[in-house]
Amino acid sequence: MSGTHEGPFEALRSQLQEAAAALADGPDALQGILLGIVDDVDRAVREPLEVFPVCHHSPASAVAMARRLREKQPKVVYLELCEDMAPLLDELRNCRLPVAVQAFAGDIDGFPPAWAPLSVVAPVTEASAEYQAIAYALDTPGVELVLVDRSSDHVFQWDARPQQPSGATDPDAPPAEEEAALHGDAVGVEIGDLRPRFAELEEHLLRHGRVRHWSEWWHQYVELPLGDSDHDTYRQVMLLIGSLFRRLAPGDPHRVRVDEDRERYMWTRIREHLAATGTDPSDGVYVCGAFHAASRVDEFGVHGSDTFEIGPRTATVWQHGLIPSSHAAIEAQFGLAPGSVSIAATEWAKNLKRTGVRPYRLEGQAGARKAKPRKTAAPRPGGTGSAAGDAPLPDRLSGFLQRPPVLDHLDEAELLGWSVDIVRAARRNGYLASTADAIAVFETSILLAGMRDRAKPTPYDFQDAAVTCIEKDRVPGRRDVRRLVEIMMGGDRVGQVSYAALPPLARDVHDRLAPLNLKLQQRGVQRALLDIAGRPELEQCSDVLWMLRRLLPPGAARPIMGERALGERPIQESWDLALGTHQRALIELGYEGVSIEQVLEQRLRRAAYDPQATTARVLEAVEDATLYLRSRRLADELGARALEVLATERSVDGAPEVLRRVRRLLAYYRTSEPVLPQWIEAFAKSGYAHYCTLLPTAFADEQATDRQVAATLGFLFGMEGLALSLGCDRTQLELAVAQSRPQEPAKRALLWAAQVHLGRLTRGELRSRCDELLGNPLLLPVYPRYLSGFVQALEPVPGLADFVVEAVSNAFARLPDPVLLPWLPTLITALRADAELAPLLVREAGRIFPGRLPALDAWVPPWREPEPGTAVPARRADGGHRAALLVAHPAACDAVAALLGCDGTWHVADPVPPGAELVGRHPETAAALEALMAAT
């Protein structure tokens, strides 16, 4: 097949055929691969429409792209990028690169619900060929930019889930840095994914190239040699690499089919545009990845087959915008070595300075020169090219492959500057680095480069040398030496989307927070102080900040002082704001609505009407609607939804949260509304009947916790007055308590507390039961579990606080240490879980126990005092008790007095008159009372 070809690559074919025969002992698969690579290159360079192969974020590709555009001045630029992202590209001029063009879909239609939300990003850096093509096309009159790659919708149509998306991370992996997570879980779309898909080939290249990562191999063996090459050499070499990796790729059926369908898609769109506009193919350039430039599908070329049919998009509505990106985010998204994009940016600046190529930059771009030459219409194509009718291209490939590598001379000044800078950065970050370390890094870099057959150390050699000489055994600060080298080589540049390119919601947020006088687009944390009492207009800023706290990730808006509670008005607040750092999250809010109030309302509705929503979650939405939106309409709607969800629940799992939120909402409406909302009255009535029905089951269910049963009783007892006023019957509650038969000690204590509240059990009977438990040696080990139940009973029956203090005190006094000590952690945990119970117990204990330590010796616990109605020994008139035994036997007292040397005589007390002395002295009152009673 190869023998039929005639052209500039015939000599190269002959050489490769001889090499294949010598290496494989005759014609074999190796010959087919080598000759097929030449055929792919020949086919691409013969194409009437110039195919320009690039690599993702490659400085060599960017320089070659800028040079070629200035030479040829094409009228149409076909770019491998999602076709639905075209309207956003003009907004790049309002951003500071790197940024990413994003397509986002929150509500999906036609995809599995578990995939939501869908997100596609295409990062753009200044040192990329795609940016040069975009800047040229948008700022040159008469030039059209056409995006020809599959749409964002087709990206997911062709996705073979359930594997993780490109941006997904391993759950066991350490958390990524903030800058590396700017893209979130979005699927990355890039131009030129030029990396071997054949693992053995990549391992072979890395081992023989004496490098650690593919990015380092590419920098050393492709970027540097192609940095100064001419257009034809660059183009043929990139086509060769793309064809090689394509032919050696493993036969993953799905991936191969997606790659080929993308190529069919792009060439179909190109031919459609050429036919619709009548553009001459020689006036255009097709910018695509080198992997796709060496395509072998039948649809390849302007004269290719038209049998491919592009399927329709789903009904999913896609939102498009720009989000900030960073070098670290790009590296994490596409599996590049840390620091490789920063090194590429440095290499891009060096290439521009060395070659003198003038790059393209969008007018108004951050950092662009203000003075711009007057734009003129694009001239006719010129320069070297592959258009039809041009002279055959020379064979640059043979010379490049046979040329020995050019050894770059050691730039001692540059390396010395690197060594000094890294030592200075290391000292600032806590390392004990000195001048000796700078010398060691300098010499070690040269040594490592020599061991790897390089005359000039690369940034990767320098990085390894710095880690070896400076880091030693530990990292004293937040950054290690490898990270410091990455920052020094160009830093992790983080892009920014300007105000003009933000969606309406984000611009509205910035406008409403303008009274704070802060640079909200600036990265980092800024402190905002709101004196709302002195400046009432700041209350609107407070409302916005609280909603942002509810909608954005933690850290975007964090309150330092102040809180938002039902029925309270703010006076002073203090906030830490990092909206510039979390700009991506704010922009994605703009995909959901035009204001944060609309987005919050949609999210509250979505949470309330979720099929898995619980009553507690719906009540939370009701509270948030009242707290943040102050919307009675939405609160009533969600409250009605809470009634529906409550009727479907068959357990008391959410009872504690339901009780807490209903109490808070009820207290708010009672103080702020003249009449309770209809939904909360219906909720109290329905909830009373609902939890009465579930109470016996909850007592018997082993899965129901003590806290859940206590919360159920708390709802019933707390809502009892309102429920009875609305027509409920207390008999239902009494029957539910009578039907409860708990087996666990804690739940049995809860039942006893409920019976005391209902009047079916007196305190004396309850105390007797506890005394019986303490008096039974067999029940002592489980007595602390009864006490845990009594502590939980403070939730529904707070009036038992004094009895709980008594029971806990008796336990500390009578329980043996082997039983008491293991129970103490359980008691502390229970009190910590229920923050309302601990103050109640402490306050009651402070009322019962003496306030001073000396009074404790003579203190008698109230529960040990005789109850009213029991016989009390008679007292003497002077307040003392009669010593009847001493009076009857005085000899014992006389003997003690003689022993102590005391002299004295016995005093005979006057007899105590029977009855009350006051009545005997003043009988008139009793006589009048007798006459009154007789008359009635």
Tokens of 295: 């395509």
In the predicted model, is pLDDT for residue 658 greater than 60?
yes
How many angstroms separate the Cα of 664 from the Cα of each of 622, 629, 764, 797?
Answer: 11, 17, 35, 18
Amino acid in position 224: L
Question: 445 is written with which tokens?
Answer: 């870099």
3-state secondary structure 842-907: HHHHHHHCCCCCHHHCCCCCHHHCCCCCCCCCCECCCCCECCHHHHHCHHHHHHHHHHHCCCCCCC
Question: If you ran DSSP here, which 8-state letter would residue 110 be given?
Answer: S
CB neighbours of 466 closer than 8 A, spacing ≥ 6?
Answer: 422, 426, 441, 481, 482, 484, 485
Burial 455-494 (b: 16+ CB within 10 A, else e): ebbbbbbbbbbbbebbbeeeeeeebbbebbbbebbbebbb
At residue 198, the pLDDT reads 60
Residue with tokens 């616990």: 861
d(CA 568, CA 170): 44
Return all residues near 440 (Cβ < 8 A) that are at least 6 apart: 465, 469
Mean pLDDT of 345-370: 77
Average pLDDT for 317-329: 84
Distance CA 325, CA 96 (A): 10
- Encoded tokens for 316: 């999913």
For 231-285, the pLDDT digits (tens) are: 888 888 888 888 877 777 666 677 778 888 888 889 899 999 999 998 888 899 9
CB 123 within 8 A of CB 100: yes
**CB atoms < 10 A from the CB of 90, how many?**
14
Q: Give the pLDDT score at 259.
A: 81
Comparing 122 with 208, the larger pLDDT belongs to 122
Longest dimension (CA), the chain: 149
Residue 861 pLDDT exceeds 90: no
Tokens encoding 270: 């190109």
The answer to whether the CB of 132 falls within 8 A of the CB of 342 is: no
Peptide bond into 816 cis (omega under 30): no
In angstroms, what CA-CA distances link 595 with 462, 586, 603, 624, 707? Answer: 50, 11, 13, 17, 41
Please give the average per-residue pLDDT across 339-361, as a whole number.
Answer: 82
| DSSP for 279-321, written as a single string | --GGGEEEEEEHHHHT--STT-STTS-----PPPP-SPPPEEE
Query: Does residue 385 carry a pLDDT above 60?
Result: no
Amino acid at 871: A
Nearest to 548 by CA among 493, 515, 585, 516: 585
How confident is the model at residue 644, as a pLDDT?
92
Confidence at residue 915, expressed as pLDDT on a 0 to 100 scale: 54
Q: What is the pLDDT of residue 616?
A: 92
How far are the Cα atoms of 19, 221, 836 from residue 200, in angstroms, in the given order?
22, 18, 64
Q: pLDDT category, 196, cuts 50, 70, 90?
A: low
For the beta carbon of residue 319, count every other beta carbon within 10 angstroms.
17
Torsion angle defined by CA atoms of residues 38, 41, 46 and 49, in that order, rounded to the nearest 10 degrees = 170
Q: 574 phi and psi, to 5 degrees?
A: -135, 135
Tokens read off for 866: 């005789």
Rounded Cα gap, residues 550 and 572, in angstroms: 19
Range from 170-179, 247-256, 296-305, 779-788 carrying the lowest mean pLDDT? 170-179
Token readout for 531 is 């004196």
| H/E element, 734 | helix 730-738
Which residues 6+ apart lie within 8 Å of 557 measured at CB? 545, 548, 549, 575, 576, 577, 578, 579
Whether residue 879 is predicted with pLDDT greater than 70 in this model: the reply is no
pLDDT band at 295 (very low <50, low <70, confident <90, very high): confident
pLDDT at 871 over 70: no
Residue 678: per-residue pLDDT = 92
How does residue 930 score in pLDDT terms, banded at 50, 70 and 90?
A: confident
- pLDDT tens digits, one per residue of 10-56: 555 565 555 545 545 555 555 556 666 777 777 888 888 989 888 87
What mean pLDDT is reported for the chain?
80
Whether residue 446 has pLDDT greater than 90: no
Which of the given ranges, 56-65, 329-338, 524-533, has the highest pLDDT on average?
A: 524-533
Q: What is the CA radius of gyration of the chain?
A: 42
List the single range of 132-141, 168-177, 438-447, 807-816 with lowest mean pLDDT.
168-177
Asked if residue 3 has pLDDT above 50, the reply is no
Most confident of 1-10, 186-195, 659-668: 659-668
Average pLDDT over residues 579-606: 88
Averaged over 810-825, what is the pLDDT? Answer: 83
* The predicted structure's pLDDT at residue 697: 92
Residue type, 159: D
**What is the reported pLDDT for 225?**
74
Is residue 171 scored above 50 in pLDDT?
no
Residues ≥6 apart with Cβ < 8 Å to 448: 457, 461, 464, 465
Residue 575 has pLDDT above 70, yes or no: yes
Cis omega before residue 854 (within 30°)? Answer: no
Pick the range with the lowest mean pLDDT from 470-474, 560-564, 795-799: 470-474
Q: Is 479 helix (H, G, I), strand (E, B) or coil?
A: coil
**Helix, strand, or coil (residue 145):** strand
How distant, in Å, are the alpha carbons of 92, 191, 310 from that of 742?
Answer: 68, 68, 67
**Distance in angstroms between the alpha carbons of the first and the last residue of the chain:** 135
Lowest mean pLDDT among 27-36, 283-292, 380-389, 721-730: 380-389
pLDDT of residue 251: 62
Q: What is the mean pLDDT of residues 501-526?
A: 89
Residue 617 pLDDT exceeds 90: yes
CA dihedral 872, 877, 883, 884 (to 10 degrees): -80
Asked if the model's pLDDT at residue 641 lies above 90, the reply is: yes
% pLDDT > 70, the chain? 81
Rounded-to-integer distance, Cα 288 and Cα 292, Å: 7
pTM greater than the 0.75 cutoff = no
Mark 538-564 as b/e (b = at least 16 C-beta within 10 Å): beebbbbbbbbbbbbeeebbebeebeb
Whether the predicted pLDDT of 913 surpasses 70: no
**How far, in Å, are 113, 192, 424 from residue 412 at the CA level?**
59, 34, 18
* pLDDT recorded at residue 908: 63
Residue 434's region, left for phi above 0, alpha for psi from -120 to 50, else beta, is beta
Residue given tokens 């027509």 in the structure block: 727
347/355 Cα distance (integer angstroms) = 12
